């Protein structure tokens, strides 16, 4: 997959989980909708990736897509693997849990790279979860919890970005 080249001044946000088929594409879809609803598409670019390449090229998990659709989201991105080049392209690299944090940090080449990495739950204010749990092997309630956590954290991340422009 060809990564985009940016010649503009957009804030670029990348969401990362393990396989890029549940949590990170859901965060991408939720955040994209929030960006569109706030008419910020010309100012913010959003993408997602996985620390593994197991599902490269695949659509998000059907269950995640169904739960997203019920809330008005379209999770239609294709899975891709996180690469070092993502540090060069993105301003925020938002990971779903500590394992993904460690995996992304291993690829970093500088403190500037590491400073871009944040846990998704760092932006949560309604929930006290330390990470966004992987719903892949669970039931419907796990997908709903992930959606709740992501909606809260994405809203706060967007507010942080907007405040940085003030």
What pLDDT, in 10s, does the model give residues 67-125? 999 999 999 999 999 999 999 999 999 999 999 999 999 999 999 999 999 999 999 99
Architecture of domain 11-165 in CATH? 3-Layer(aba) Sandwich (3.40)
**Residue 62 known to be catalytic:** no
**Residue 80 known to be catalytic:** no
Considering the candidates 23, 80, 97, 154, report the single residue annotated as catalytic: 23
Question: Which tokens is 162 given?
Answer: 């907007």
Residue tagged 């796990």 (tokens): 142
Output the pTM of the full model. 0.94
Considering the candidates 86, 97, 134, 152, report the single residue annotated as catalytic: 134
Buried-state track 141-157, b at ≥16 Cβ within 10 A, e below 16: ebbebbbbbbbbbbbeb
Chain center to CA of 24? 4
- Give per-residue pLDDT as tens, 35-48: 999 999 999 999 99
Is residue 135 very low, low, confident or very high in pLDDT (cuts 50, 70, 90)?
very high
Collapsing DSSP to helix, strand or coil, 52 comes out as: coil
């Amino acid at each position: 997959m060809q990564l985009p080249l940016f010649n503009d001044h957009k804030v670029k946000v990348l969401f990362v989980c393990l396989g890029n088929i549940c949590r990170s594409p859901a965060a991408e879809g939720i955040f994209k909708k929030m960006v569109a609803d706030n008419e910020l598409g010309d100012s913010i670019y959003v993408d997602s990736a996985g620390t593994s390449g197991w599902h490269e090229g695949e659509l998000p998990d059907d269950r995640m897509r169904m739960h997203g659709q019920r809330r008005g989201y379209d999770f239609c991105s294709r899975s891709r693997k996180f690469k070092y080049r993502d540090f060069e392209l993105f301003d925020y690299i938002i990971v779903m849990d500590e394992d993904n944090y460690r995996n992304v940090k291993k690829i970093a080449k500088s403190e500037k790279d590491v400073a871009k990495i944040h846990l998704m739950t760092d932006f949560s204010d309604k929930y006290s979860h330390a990470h966004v749990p992987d719903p892949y092997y669970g039931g419907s309630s796990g997908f709903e919890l992930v959606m709740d956590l992501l909606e809260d954290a994405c809203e706060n991340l967007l507010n942080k970005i907007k405040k940085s422009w003030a």
